[in-house]
Structure 1
Amino acid sequence: MRLLILFLLSLFAAKSWGQGTSGKWYKGNMHTHSYWSDGDDFPEMIMEWYKSNGYDFIALSDHNTLAAGEKWKQIPSHPFRQRRFKAYLEKYGDDWVTYKTDSAGQISVKLKTFAEYKPLFHEDGRFLIMQAEEISDAYEGKPIHMGAINVEELVEPQGGNSVTEVMQNNLDEVYAQRERTGKPMFPHINHPNFRYAIKLEDMIPLKGERFFEVYNGHPEVHNYGDSTAMGMEELWDKLLIHYIKAGKPLLYGLATDDAHHHGEFRVGLSNPGRGWIMVRAKELTPAALIAAMEKGDFYATTGVELREVAFERKKLRIEVKPEAGVSYTIQFWGADKKADGIEQGGELLKEVKGTAGEYKLRKKDLFVRAKVISSKLKENPYKAGDLETAWIQPVTLQ
């Protein structure tokens, strides 16, 4: 397995995005849930929402399961859930929906599998659904969750003797499946601050970790930290310092909605549409999307849309696609090569008011990433008062 990891590290150490890249921006979400685990809706209704709301690709990632085999879901008696079932039945009809009612009047529905519902929505070049899983593991009661995207087979939680070992074992298992099947796929660490389970020191030793959620729309994941725990952006910068100094590839940040509640929309629920990624790829296929992401040719966002991102001639350039009446602040964050990644993390290097900005990396800069903050309030936010924001992946001269 060590040889596999070393191979993957060398494979992923690709040139920075923006250097001769071209393609189209595709909108997608890598983390959401359905009735196959703890979500509150049918896969078809969820796919319909994403497709009709401008998404190009989706990875439905239920806990420790793939949508395969036979699974029946008893519909809760709550009026909302009952109305949702009726809407599902009306939309897809008795020829599609298989259900039964017991002597007590309880309705159970046979859930459609990935193989069954995918053909309803998949369109070459227009809408892509990737099979995924949220590997939900634990150590001493601490939840350790990891996304496994475009997997071919179910990845069973691997366990381990520490938080770090649990994560590493699951990372290795996804990479082993990728090597065995030849299918493009990748793992990512979900919401480290969920119940404050994953700390900086747990992630520093990891090998092969390329992606984590810098933003997650679930109200219980503590994106911003608190007085005793760092937020996701501080964690990101400190991990980058350690990874770069150790000769590891750059760590990239995802935004996801982690939706569980698909019918009722309000602050306090985990709804779709809170966070997503925009990937610049040559085509809408798993291979093209994952290849672009492994080069860092994507950004995470809660609403800000970018017209251009480029890293050429040591310059990181950002151009926003503006909305009328909305103002923007472009920030460039990075770290000095002398930063230790424990006491010293990232710092604000430059700030520009407007729709375009650039930063030229200096010899002393270990890395630089960008963040765009708009003046527009996020509709149905993770936290009341949130502004629409985008996070651009880090670059380095090394």
Structure 2
Amino acid sequence: MIRTLIATLSCSLLWFALVAGDDAPETRWWKGNTHTHTLWSDGRAAPEWVAKQYVDGGYDFLVLSDHNTIQAGERWFPVSEDGSSRLSPKELDGLIAEFGAEAVQLRTTETGREMRLLTLPELRQRFEVPGEFLFIQGEEVTSHFRSTGEKPVNYPVHINAVNIEAYIAPRGGDSVSDLLNESLEAIIAHGEESGRPVLAHLNHPNFGWGVTWQDVARMGADRFFEVYNGHRGVRSHGDETHPSTESIWDQALTLRLTALGLGPLFGVATDDAHDYYGGLTSQSGRGWIMVRSASLDGDSLVRAMRAGEFYASSGVTLDDVQMGDGAYRVSIRAQPGETFVTRFVGTRIVDGTVATVGEVLAEQAGLSAVYEPKGDELYIRAVVTSSRLHPNPYAEGDREMAWGQPWVR
């Protein structure tokens, strides 16, 4: 497993070195969300309505990551006249008003009206524009580990598979860590079999307190997790006995880079949207990623992410992030009336021993921040916080932020 990870990382870095040469095409930042739900699973809107939210919101790419399914085949969804379904007559009327009666296929059965859900190929035909908007096929591979004893507990393990070709069945395991790695390995194997780059990221580790920081550290087949998830039920800030997702990142990075030898762990931001008609629990637009790539296609975006060429955001826009030439550099896009603080976070090795895990190495105000390593840092990552309160926050009082990927020296 470790050999596979190292080989994959080496290939990703080799690819990035090749495309970053003198003759390489110019890169730019692309905005996208890799965790989104529709009526194909537990989302509360038709897939075309969901897609429109992201197109209108200025996104460049979108992954519809419904639970244990992809948007394929024929499926009909009931229209509720009494509130028992997630598709009401009012919402159906909104679809017809927006897209036209000819674009909404209905039928009447013994139990009432039903609407056919659009497939991903149909959505692509309707919304995709080369160089402007792209769907990447995905799935939230959803499992749980059930403990034994007098009071068994279900520990949820949810992993998003990105840029896949077909449905991937959920896996099992003898522990949370075993199940997690079995699932990651199945996703990576799917990519190898289909001949395309894929990516797997662990979702909301604190949801149901399902995945510990030690489990995150031991992810062997892939190295991505959600440092930010906009769903208000996933406990991203932790509590008195559970670390926040940011603390999980630092603890897992430290263990991976010392005792486990597993390499870096990258942080993703998503909105995990389910609500599109006013519900506040999990709305679209709370978090996203910005990927630096020469082109807007699934393979290129995944390769760029595998090379660490992206950052996570809940509102802050970075013009540039650079690691190398003796420094970690961040350039922040100015916004009227906003100020910014950048914290450089890392773990140091002092006298051969791990010092404080995830300590603030430096803090700088302004639109640019630079950290020059002292030589004892195991890794360095950047966190930018705006003075602006998030307009639609995960939790009250949250400010808009951005997270750079760790620089491992």
Letter in 1 for 2:50: I
Distance 1:9 1:23, change over 3 A: closer
Matching residue of 1:122: 128
Matching residue of 2:108: 101
Cα distance between partner residues in 2 of 1:158 and 1:13: 30
Aligned match for 2:45, one of 41, 44, 58: 41
Shift of 1:100: 2.3
Letter in 2 for 1:145: H
RMSD across aligned positions (CA): 2.2
Distance 1:355 1:99, change over 3 A: same
Matching residue of 1:254: 268
Pair 1:313-2:332 in alignment: no
Cα distance between partner residues in 2 of 1:340 and 1:201: 19
Cα distance between partner residues in 2 of 1:356 and 1:16: 25
Aligned match for 2:284, one of 254, 272, 294: 272
Pair 1:50-2:54 in alignment: yes
Aligned match for 1:200, one of 209, 213, 226: 213
Which range moved further: 204-213 or 43-52?
Answer: 204-213
Shift of 1:394: 0.7
Letter in 2 for 1:101: T
8 Å contact kept, 1:19–1:312: no
Map 1:129-144 to 2 at 5 A: 129-140=135-146, 141-144=154-157
Q: Which has the higher contact order (CA 8 A, sep 6+)?
A: 1
Cα distance between partner residues in 1 of 2:332 and 2:10: 33
SS of corresponding position for 1:317: strand
Percent identity for Structure 1 against Structure 2? 36
Matching residue of 2:227: 214
SS of corresponding position for 1:296: coil
Shift of 1:112: 1.0
Letter in 2 for 1:351: E
Distance 1:127 1:19, change over 3 A: closer
Structure 1 residue runs without a partner (length 5+): none
Cα distance between partner residues in 1 of 2:353 and 2:227: 21
1:317-340 CA-to-partner distances (Å, cap 9, x unmatched) read: 111101110111111001102597
8 Å contact kept, 1:74–1:109: yes
1:254-308 CA-to-partner distances (Å, cap 9, x unmatched) read: 0000000012153xx1000000001111111112111111111111001101111
Letter in 2 for 1:134: E
Shift of 1:354: 1.1
Cα distance between partner residues in 1 of 2:225 and 2:383: 16
Q: Aligned pairs, how many?
A: 393
8 Å contact kept, 2:42–2:274: yes
SS of corresponding position for 2:387: strand
Distance 1:34 1:395, change over 3 A: same
Cα distance between partner residues in 1 of 2:13 and 2:236: 28
1:4-53 CA-to-partner distances (Å, cap 9, x unmatched) read: 45532543466999987951010000001000000011111111110111
Distance 1:2 1:330, change over 3 A: closer
Pair 1:7-2:19 in alignment: no
Cα distance between partner residues in 2 of 1:199 and 1:303: 27
Distance 1:207 1:363, change over 3 A: same
Matching residue of 1:292: 304
Cα distance between partner residues in 2 of 1:164 and 1:39: 28
Shift of 1:2: 7.3
SS of corresponding position for 2:52: helix
Cα distance between partner residues in 2 of 1:257 and 1:12: 26
Letter in 1 for 2:36: T
Distance 1:14 1:254, change over 3 A: farther
Distance 1:214 1:237, change over 3 A: same
Aligned match for 1:89, one of 93, 96, 105: 96
Shift of 1:249: 2.7
Cα distance between partner residues in 2 of 1:80 and 1:153: 27
Matching residue of 1:390: 402
Letter in 2 for 1:216: N
Which range moved further: 160-169 or 19-28?
Answer: 19-28
SS of corresponding position for 2:364: strand
Matching residue of 1:370: 382
1:164-217 CA-to-partner distances (Å, cap 9, x unmatched) read: 111111111111111111112111100000011000222232212211000000
Structure 2 residue runs without a partner (length 5+): 147-153
TM-score by length of 1: 0.93
Distance 1:25 1:124, change over 3 A: same
Distance 1:103 1:294, change over 3 A: closer
Letter in 2 for 1:100: R
Distance 1:3 1:362, change over 3 A: closer
Distance 1:304 1:396, change over 3 A: same
SS of corresponding position for 1:393: coil
Pair 1:112-2:126 in alignment: no
Shift of 1:3: 6.1
Map 1:233-252 to 2 at 5 A: 233-245=246-258, 246-252=260-266
8 Å contact kept, 1:300–1:391: yes
SS of corresponding position for 1:330: strand
SS of corresponding position for 1:234: helix
Map 1:178-197 to 2 at 5 A: 178-197=191-210
